[in-house]
Amino acid sequence: MAGHSKWANIRHKKEKTDAQKAKIFSKLGRELMVVAKMYGPDPEKNPKLRDVIAKAKANNMPMEKIMGFIKKAAGEIDTTGYEDITYEGYGPGGVAVIVEAMTNNRNRTAGEIRHIFDKNGGNLGQTGCVSWMFNKKGVIIIEKESFPDEDFVMEKALEYGAEDFSSENDVYEIITSPEDFSKVREGLEKDGFTFIRAQIEMIPQTTVKLSEEDAQKMRRLIDMLEDNDDVKEVYHNWEEE
DSSP assignments along 171-232, one per residue: EEEEEE-TTTHHHHHHHHHHTT---SEEEEEEEESS-B---HHHHHHHHHHHHHHHHSTTEE
**Side-chain half-sphere of 206: how many Cα atoms within 13 Å?**
7
CB atoms within 10 A of CB 123: 12
CB atoms within 10 A of CB 159: 12
Q: What are phi and psi of 50, to 5 degrees?
A: -60, -40
Q: State the pLDDT at residue 158.
A: 96
* pLDDT one-digit tens code per residue, 155-195: 999 999 999 999 888 899 999 999 999 999 999 999 999 99
10, pLDDT greater than 60: no
* pLDDT one-digit tens code per residue, 107-145: 999 999 999 999 999 999 999 999 999 999 999 999 999
CA-CA-CA-CA dihedral for 151, 185, 57, 39, to nearest 10: 180
3, pLDDT greater than 50: no
Contact yes or no for 76/41 (Cβ under 8 A): no
Global pTM value: 0.84
CA of residue 72 relative to chain centroid, distance: 24
Contact yes or no for 70/34 (Cβ under 8 A): no
Determine the Cα–Cα distance for residues 55 and 27; give it in Å rounded to an integer. 12
CA of residue 64 relative to chain centroid, distance: 22
